[in-house]
């Protein structure tokens, strides 16, 4: 049994929440909860959609393992509340979380740091989506700027599809992103640790049925192939791992995250798509799969992430907190 280095005290596994990814969050949370309990951790489920966060302080929780996905959990809001409560939590802090959930802001920072990401436009109408299509070409990806799990995403191949694609994305977010489609290998890379100690885990290459890695294929089917080792040309995996570490540090991420990357099939140039600061931990999730390839079991992974729980302002006493 892998015991934590020090007793983490009473741990709340935050799961569920109010985002469009609630169903997946509950699946992730239950997995983490059982894994922590199997390692002797005093862990308890806590759903912010059903309980006030102030109860965390009242009930004596010493740490929070965040398995919330999407808004109100992965976007800096819960992180900010936990900062005020003075309860260390897993994953990135307030600023990095709020930036990473916003794909447009993420791409702006990456581009400013000279990191490769597909061309894009932020749009606010179907007409603007059509204009983006004429600029970016076919295919084009249209998606909400602040959602995950491919929710509200459309691959557009004709101008006539733009209106419906915009309408679908706008159902989920007032900010809509039109992104150049990169044809080639799709890979995902997990990072564990913070600062100079952060390190990338083995790449996973994703081969989805009909090339469609959608919500259903991500979580509820067994037809998608996950290849690890990824089988990339010599030296390419190491180059992409280094790129992802730069992307992780560019946003100020800590603890853990997972980054999605496309590799152009012609040039073999890797392009950063997005970063997930509260990765999935379901039976189909990719961080546990990558960790396993590195010799880290699911329970051991959960313990490692939990041990990295901290606060942005850990060295500053917050006054007035009950």
**What does pTM read for this prediction?**
0.90
pLDDT, tens digit, 9 for 90 and up, residues 261-295? 999 999 999 999 999 999 999 988 999 999 999 99
For the chain, what are the domain ranges? 11-90, 99-116+182-305, 120-180
pLDDT, tens digit, 9 for 90 and up, residues 48-66? 999 999 999 999 999 999 9
* Cβ-Cβ contacts under 8 Å for 13 (sequence gap 6 or more): 29, 32, 33, 36, 43, 44, 45, 46, 64, 65, 67
Q: What is the pLDDT of residue 1?
A: 39
Question: Is the CB of residue 47 less than 8 Å from the CB of residue 30?
Answer: no
Q: Which of 29, 8, 35, 17 is nearest to 81 (CA)?
A: 17
Domain 11-90 has CATH 3.40.50.20: yes
Among 28, 92, 149, 290, which one carries the catalytic annotation? 149
Q: What CATH number was assigned to the domain covering residues 99-116+182-305? A: 3.30.470.20
Among 276, 278, 285, 290, which one carries the catalytic annotation? 276
Among 16, 19, 21, 213, which one carries the catalytic annotation? 21
pLDDT, mean of residues 192-202: 96
- 219 catalytic per annotation: yes
d(CA 26, CA 82) in angstroms, rounded, equals 20
- 258 catalytic per annotation: yes
- 28 catalytic per annotation: no
Poorest-pLDDT segment among 144-148, 179-183, 231-235, 241-245: 144-148
Question: Is the CB of residue 55 less than 8 Å from the CB of residue 321?
Answer: no
CATH superfamily of this structure's domain 120-180: ATP-grasp fold, A domain (3.30.1490.20)
**Average pLDDT, rounded, for the chain:** 92
pLDDT at 213 over 50: no
Among 280, 285, 290, 312, which one carries the catalytic annotation? 280
Share of the chain above pLDDT 90, in %: 84
- 21 catalytic per annotation: yes
Task: Supply φ then ψ for residue 167, to 5 degrees.
Answer: -60, -40
- 280 catalytic per annotation: yes
Among 83, 260, 278, 312, which one carries the catalytic annotation? 260
Residue written as token pair 């995902």: 188
d(CA 47, CA 189) in angstroms, rounded, equals 28
d(CA 226, CA 209) in angstroms, rounded, equals 11
Q: What is the pLDDT of residue 59?
A: 97
Count of alpha carbons within 13 angstroms of residue 146, beta-carbon side: 18
């Amino acid at each position: 049994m892998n015991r934590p280095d020090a007793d983490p005290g009473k741990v709340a596994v935050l799961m569920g929440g109010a985002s469009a990814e609630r169903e997946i969050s509950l699946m992730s949370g239950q997995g983490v909860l059982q894994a922590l309990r199997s390692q002797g951790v005093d862990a308890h489920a806590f759903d912010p959609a059903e309980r006030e966060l102030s109860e965390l302080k009242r009930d004596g929780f010493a740490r929070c393992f965040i398995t919330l996905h999407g808004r109100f959990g992965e976007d800096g809001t819960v992180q900010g509340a936990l900062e005020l409560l003075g309860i260390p939590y897993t994953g990135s802090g307030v600023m990095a979380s709020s930036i990473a959930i916003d794909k447009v802001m993420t791409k702006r920072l990456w581009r400013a740091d000279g990191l490769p990401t597909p061309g894009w436009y932020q749009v606010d109408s179907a007409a603007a989506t059509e204009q983006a299509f004429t600029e970016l070409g076919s295919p084009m990806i249209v998606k909400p700027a602040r959602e995950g799990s491919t929710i509200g995403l459309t691959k557009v191949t004709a101008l006539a599809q733009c209106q419906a694609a915009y309408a679908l994305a706008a159902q989920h977010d007032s900010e809509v992103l039109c992104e150049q489609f990169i044809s080639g290998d799709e890979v995902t890379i997990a990072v564990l640790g913070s600062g100079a100690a952060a390190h990338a885990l083995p790449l996973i290459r994703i081969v989805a049925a009909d090339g469609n890695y959608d919500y259903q294929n991500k979580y509820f089917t067994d037809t998608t192939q996950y290849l690890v080792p990824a089988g990339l040309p010599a030296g390419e995996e190491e180059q992409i791992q280094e790129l992802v570490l730069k992307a992780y540090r560019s946003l100020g991420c800590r603890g853990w995250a997972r980054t999605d990357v496309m590799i152009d099939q012609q040039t073999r140039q890797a392009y950063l798509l997005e970063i997930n600061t509260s990765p999935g931990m379901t039976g189909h999730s990719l961080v546990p799969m990558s960790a396993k390839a590195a010799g880290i079991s699911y329970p051991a992974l959960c313990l490692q992430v939990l041990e990295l729980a901290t606060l942005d302002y850990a060295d500053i006493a917050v006054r007035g907190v009950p």
